[in-house]
Chains A and B, each alone.
Chain A
Amino acid sequence: MSFKPNQTVGAATAAAAILSAIVILPAALRAQQAPPAHPVPPPKNGGTVVMLCDGKTSIEIKSLKPGEQPTESQGREVANELMAEWRKEHPDEHWQMAQADAGAKPHADPMSQASKSPPATGQQQGDTYASFTSRDYKVWQAETQKFVDEGKRIFHDWKALGGTIGVSCDMCHPDGANTHPETYPKYQVQLQRVALLRDMIDWCIENPVKGKTLDPNDPKLRALEAYIYAQRKGVPLDYGKH
């Protein structure tokens, strides 16, 4: 046991490092540490256990054996059961419709102004970097829409989400309903930290979609975030709201 002293020293060093890290790290940084894990309980009837987004309530889908390829209707069944559970636990919760599909008034089309922009020759009166043509607005709009459309595609596709039980985002949040992206950042009890919208998307991908969380820079996560925000166009920002 000649290595024991070394081990002790190592452990002590590690403990000291952790202690000093806790002392030195500002509260905000500590808040960014990895979220607590919420393992689902084992199935009682040989089905698949899926957790509700509160991180506490779980249900067992008996018809879906672990590792089985789910069908569209099985996914829908899972989503319906989860929704029923959520509504039971939140009887007074106001269900928020997706703005983009609730007759929200669209913002002024930049092209309507762009068509009046001066001809190319002799423009550029202002600063080079702040002078834009109608083409610029069209390109920006097209690129943004492609990004949002990609998010919409993934939102509705459990396979693209990396899901395993046939559940996609739209099954609980049709057209992005009740995602309230305007309330982030806010403290999320399940995570025990301040969360951004992308953290909650990842949360949903883990439970209930039952996929693997996406890296914050993953193009899929960025596109999902874009789609969810786009569906709430025109709603005032209200960070920290519960």
Chain B
Amino acid sequence: MFDERLWTGLLLIVAVVGLSAVPARAQEPGPLAEPKSRNQVGFPAELYSWVIPADNPQTPEKIALGKELFFDDRLSEDGKISCDHCHVPNKGFTDQLPTSMGIHNQFGQRNAPTILNALFSTTQFWDGRAATLEDQAKQPILNPVEMGMKSPDEVVGKIKGIPEYNEKFRKVFGREVNYDDIARAIASYERTQIAFDSPFDRYMAGDRRAISDSAIRGWSIFNGKGRCMSCHGWNPTQPLFTDFKFHNIGVSAHKSDFVPLARKALAILAQGASPEQIDKLAIQTDMSGLGRFLVTKQPHDIGGFRTMGLRNLLVTQPYFHDGSQQTLWDTIDHYNKGGVQNPYLDGGIVPLGLSEAEEDDLVAFLASLTSPEYEQMAKEEYDLQFKRSRTDRPQRDTEAAMGLKGRNGPGLGGPFGDIGPGQSEMGENPALLGGD
């Protein structure tokens, strides 16, 4: 099964490389790119009214302009990479790759987060380095391995060279094209990508047969033994399954030696910590694994990444900030064994002792968070992941999950040995905060 997928992936890459020789857009955005109705079961009307910024209200003309920009390759240096290159509507507004590919086939260090429901997020990017969708939209356009434009002026110049755009910008904003307005229009379009209306939403609205018994058990585990709800919070007012906070769950502890990396990052940031600088460290260097630390320079934020919402997970695989996990079972296995030990591991990450049946129930629950337009795709992905989970479980560590080793038992807890939070050489050492 795995080999089959690998081959499909390789073929896909070959296909993409082949297509990139074609200058114009290969295909139209399609129906999944259309702005979504707000008439969905579970739609949080109150929250929606809070998140639309007063200085960038939604208008049909602005949304249409933003949509055009979102799908326009000309926003990139080589004229081949548009926003939807990594945020593909038919793939849940992700690229379904571990990390994203930008101009000249360069790969970044982070997994493309979905645009679906991104309007509700309190910060943007995996490390929250942008406060708003407007601020977010400006960065990939200028990142050298993403869309590669040299400066905001270069982007504005290029857009101004397209007569239709001049006219539309004047109509929507009543002024000349400028970089802020480009970001405003794109953000407005992104704010139309609302995804609720899932079987779970119907279940919570009172239809007790909307989800399977397995999913109902999964919802119970989600709230109890699995401890998922602590960070992936849900309530009717904010039904997004995230606390929008940053947690070190040990994902980058696989491949990062945090302490020397943090020293290196501080030395660079001491020279200047502009958004562009942080963006480059996050996307282009091995310091990416430091996560939220790059933004706050606080030791407790080392390796911390934003809690992602859980809706439509079966069309936004692979998982985690580096796309390192292929299936929902792998992802749950990671949590079940208590993450990967490192000095900055979040205190809430502990072995969970979930059985195989309980993991299956959790996945059934997660599958029930699929919006109707992705139902068929999600079903196919579920089948693939299910089959794979029966034979291939790289993250499974039953002994650790059951507390028979690691923190709660004999033996090592992870790559750094049996070490708990705050015991490291670095800890909250104020000397480090000044840089080396």
Interface residues of A (CB under 8 A from B): 119-125, 127-129, 131, 133, 135, 138-139, 142-143, 146
Contacts and interface: CB of A to CB of B under 8 A. Distances in A.
B244 A124 contact: no
Contacts of B235: 139, 143
Contact of A121 (B130, B244, B298): B130
Contact of A143 (B128, B236, B292): B236
Interface in B123-162: 123, 128-131, 135
Given A121-B123, A124-B245, 5 more contacts: A121-B129, A128-B346, A135-B122, A135-B244, A146-B236
- Report the contact-size class of chain B (Cβ under 8 Å from the partner): 20 to 34
Contacts, number: 52
B25 to A, nearest CB: 34
Given A135-B50, A135-B122, A142-B46, A124 B238 contact: no
Contact of B296 (A119, A124, A133, A135): A124
Contact of B244 (A127, A129, A133): A133
B134 to A, nearest CB: 13
Interface in B22-51: 46-47, 50
Given A119-B131, A120-B128, A142-B46, A125 B298 contact: yes
B238 to A, nearest CB: 5
B300 interface: yes
Contact of B237 (A123, A124, A133, A142): A142
A122 B295 contact: yes
Contacts of B236: 143, 146
Contact of A127 (B50, B238, B295, B300): B300
B50 A138 contact: yes
A139 B238 contact: yes
A190 to B, nearest CB: 36
Contacts of B301: 124
A139 B130 CA distance: 22
A145 B18 CA distance: 57
Nearest to B346: A128
A120 B123 contact: yes
12 contacts: A121-B123, A121-B131, A124-B128, A124-B292, A124-B296, A128-B247, A133-B244, A135-B122, A135-B238, A139-B47, A139-B238, A142-B46
B323 interface: no
Contacts of B295: 121-122
Given A119-B131, A139-B235, A124 B298 contact: yes
B382 interface: no
A133 B122 contact: yes
A124 B129 contact: no
A26 B202 CA distance: 46
B237 A146 contact: yes
A46 B247 CA distance: 68
Nearest to B132: A120
Q: Which 7 A-B pairs have the closest CB atoms?
A: A120-B131, A142-B237, A120-B123, A139-B238, A121-B131, A139-B237, A143-B237
Contacts of B113: none
B304 interface: yes
A122 B292 CA distance: 9
A121 B128 contact: yes
Contacts of A133: 122, 244
Nearest to A121: B131
A143 B44 CA distance: 12
B335 interface: no
B242 to A, nearest CB: 12
A120 B122 contact: yes
Nearest to B230: A129
A139 B131 CA distance: 19
A127 B238 CA distance: 22
B319 interface: no
Interface string B101-127: 000000000000000000000110000
B246 interface: yes
A127 B298 CA distance: 10
B122 A128 contact: no
Interface string B189-222: 0000000000000000000000000000000000
Which of B122, B128, B237 has the most chain A CB atoms inside 10 A of its CB?
B237
B52 to A, nearest CB: 13
